Each structure stands twice: as structure tokens, then as C-alpha cells.
Amino acid sequence: MEGKRVEILRKGPWKAEEDEVLINHVKNYGPRDWSSIRSKGLLQRTGKSCRLRWVNKLRPNLKNGCKFTAEEERVVIELQAQFGNKWAKIATYLPGRTDNDVKNFWSSRQKRLTRILQNSGTPSSSSKSLKLKKEIPGFHDVPLMEASKLSSSMEELSYSKGQSCSTSYLEKSQTSTKVEQFPELVNPQLYTDANMAQLELMSRGKHPYAETRSQVFFPQIPQPQPSLTLSLESQDLLAKFEDPYFSQVFADVPELDSGNVEHPFSGFSAKEETDIPMTPDAFFHDFPADMFDQMEPLPSPSE
DNA sequence: AAGAGCTCCAACCGCATCCGA
DNA sequence: CTCGGATGCGGTTGGAGCTCT
């Protein structure tokens, strides 16, 4: 066996030192040449493993450890209905989220939905339903008049464990048309976690507000927001530009600078949590001319 | 307090696609 | 055109940590 070096391939959880090596590699060479990391002897990890680690954990501006907001939930649910299990594609619409995040979110949601539907046949069987109710503090305290806001209200209410996360571009673009404008019922399949919790209560034969009200109850989801009326192509583009890593990483990579990579959102995405320094005009200035062709025209102020 | 059950998520695997030689 | 390596993607799994009884 001489001449044939037996390579020990590391698997499993990453150590901080390994992360550091990986980050250094990306700083020097960009997010590519993953397999050279092993061939250079920097890490005993496969290129695939390195890439995955970078994409899912080390990439800048990831919302690691943050629960999906109600808005993100809605986007995932909507896009899943549209694209199917194209997690990578869906993830491009959710800044800071990876395909793995979306995939995990969806599968746990599916499990939960399955369980709820099963329990709906056996209302008394769900000791776990009680747990679910507990996961949404203040659930029973939401007055009926607030029901149409439930989806957004639950954004804060439903994630007892998750820290609050930064507002995404998507959310930001929609704050002026928050969900209170959309009380009407939409596709019942679009249950958010919060809605599912209500559904679960229903499945146990108990309306969340049954104690005080007798109105017909149904989970209420906001309608697609204006930003979602963009053509999918444009959204793709937006999502790419939105990715903060797009500029951050390449700014550090000299050999990639030749193209002078600069995206129209630079200066925006990095500060999206605080304020938007650009004027609306400047903001749209660099978009492709046809980008808004398929947008539904907003009513003019005079109307 | 302890054990069982459950959820979440990081990471692996296999297949598909891309791309350069 | 073809082949092989690199990369991307979606499905799956295993373990840590949490909740419930």
C-alpha cells in the first residue's frame, strides 16, 4: 500500500477551528474550489461538506437560530404551492434563509399538519395539542377584532423560543400594507403555524374564541402582498441582489473584482434592519427596464 | 426527578446538472 | 461529442434538547 496515503475523512459536527479554516479559504479564494480545501490538506472534509457548511452556517447574514416569521411562513407556503419542493429556489426569496432551513421548516410543518389532521378524527386523543396551545402564549387573549391581524400578531406571539429577527426586505416592503387590510379568507391550505394551532384547537372541537363568540371561525391569511405581484423572474433577480453575501464575500476576493460586482441594493441590504438610506428613485434606478413590466400598476394617488 | 416522546436542525447521501479538457 | 470532476439540490437521518407525564 505504499504511496497510497490513507486519508482520514472527517464527518459529523464541525469544530470552530475547521470553521475558521473554511472562512479563511473563502476570504482568499471566494466560495468555490471546495475540493481544493482537502487536496491542499487544509481540512479533512469533502468539498461537498465544506460547501454545505459554508452555505448553511458560515455565510454572512444568515438568520441562524431565528424562527421563521409569519411572513416568511406565508412566503414559503405560497411558493411551495407554486414551485413544489424547490427549496433552493424558494430560499432565494427569503433573505438569510437557506434551502436547508426552508426544507426543515416545511417538513416539520408537514409532520405537524399530518398530526393535526389525524387528531381531527380523534379530538380527545391529543395531549400534544395542549402543548401546541401552550406554544402560543396569549393565544386565547387575542380579541376577535384582532383576528384579521392574527397572522402578523402571531409573528411575535408564536415563537416563544426564537429571538426576534431582523426585518427582511420582503417584510419591509410590506409594512405599509400590513395584514389588517386583508381580512378576507384565502386558500385554506395556506395555514401558517399560528393558523395550524388554531386548527388544532378546532380539531379538538373547540373554537379558540368559543367562550365568548359564536361566529364562524376560519384561519385567516393575508392576501399576497404587492411585492409578490412581481414576475417570478424579477423576484429571482431581486432575491439574488438581496443576498447580502453577494457583495460582502466578493468584496474580499480580489480576483473577482474585475467585474466590479456591485448590486443595486448595495447600501440597502446591509442596513436593512435600520433604515433605507436611498431615496425611492435611487432605489429603483438600477433595475432592468423591463423589470416592472408585469407588475400590477398601483392606483394613482389621485384615484 | 426521571424517563418517554417529540421537535428541530445540522449534516450526510445519492442523484442531477454544469462545465472544462 | 464524451468523460470526469465540481457543484447544486432534495431527501433522509441521527442526535441534542425540550416538553410532558
pLDDT in tens, A95-150: 899 999 999 999 988 888 887 777 665 544 333 333 443 333 333 333 333 333 33
What SS3 string covers A213-278?
Answer: CCCCCCCCCCCCCHHHHCCHHHHHHHHHHHCCHHHHHHHCCHHHHHHCCCCCCCCCHHHCCCCCCC
Cβ of A87 near strand C (under 7 Å)? The reply is yes
Look at A132 and A190; give whichever has higher pLDDT: A190
Is the residue at A43 inside a domain? yes
pLDDT, tens digit (0-9, with 9 covering 90-100), for A263-279: 333 333 333 333 333 33
Is the residue at A231 inside a domain? no
Nearest alpha-carbon partner for A131 in A201, A217, A212, A219: A201
The pLDDT of residue A7 is 60
Q: Phi-psi bin for A217: left (phi > 0), alpha (psi -120 to 50), beta? A: beta
Q: CA at A286, C1' at C14: how many angstroms apart?
A: 47
Percent of chain A scored above 70 by pLDDT? Answer: 36
* DSSP type of residue A92: T
Is the residue at A25 inside a domain? yes
Is the residue at A291 inside a domain? no
The pLDDT of residue A254 is 39
Nearest alpha-carbon partner for A71 in A217, A175, A141, A186: A175
pLDDT, tens digit (0-9, with 9 covering 90-100), for A38-89: 888 888 899 999 999 999 999 888 888 788 888 898 899 999 988 898 998 9
Burial (CB count <10 Å: 0-12, 13-18, 19+), residue A220? buried
Which residue type, as a one-letter code, is found at position A77? I
Q: For the domain that residue A37 is a member of, what is the CATH number?
A: 1.10.10.60
Range of the domain at A29: 16-58
Look at A288 and A231; give whichever has higher pLDDT: A231
Is the residue at A90 inside a domain? no
Sign of the C-alpha dihedral computed for residues A196, A219, A228 and A279 taken in this order: negative
Q: Which residues touch strand B (CB under 7 A)?
A: A 10-14, 45, 48-49, 52-53, 56-57, 64-65, 67, 100-101, 103-105, 107-108, 111-112, 115, 128, 162
Look at A200 and A74; give whichever has higher pLDDT: A74
**Runs of H (alpha helix) within A54-189:** 70-83, 87-91, 99-121, 127-134, 150-157, 169-174
Average pLDDT over residues A188-202: 56
Is the residue at A11 inside a domain? no
Q: How many domains does chain A have?
A: 1
Is the residue at A39 inside a domain? yes
Cβ of A114 near strand C (under 7 Å)? The reply is no
Report whether pLDDT(A28) > 80.
yes
Measuring from the CA of residue A161 to each C1' atom, give the nucleotide at the shortest distance: C18
Nearest residue to nucleotide B6, by CA–C1' distance, is A128
Is the residue at A44 inside a domain? yes
